[in-house]
Amino acid sequence: MTIRVRYFASLRERMGRADEELVPENLASVADVWKAVCEGQPLPENILCAVNMEYAHADTAVKDGDEVAFFPPVTGG
Half-sphere exposure of 77 toward its Cβ, with a 13 Å CA cutoff?
0
Instruction: Please tell me the pTM assigned to this model.
Output: 0.92
What residue type is 5 in one-letter code? V
Confidence of residue 76 (pLDDT cuts 50, 70, 90): low
Pairing of strands 67-71, 3-7: parallel
CATH of 3-71, one of 1.10.3210.10, 3.40.50.410, 1.25.40.340, 3.10.20.30: 3.10.20.30
> Hey, where are the domains in the chain?
3-71
Element (H, E) at 12: helix 10-15
pLDDT at res. 38: 93
Span 63-72, mean pLDDT? 96
Tell me the per-residue pLDDT of 5-64, one tens digit each, with 9 for 90 and over.
999 999 999 999 999 999 988 899 999 999 999 989 999 999 999 999 999 999 999 999
How far is it, in rounded angstroms, from Cα 70 to Cα 49? 5
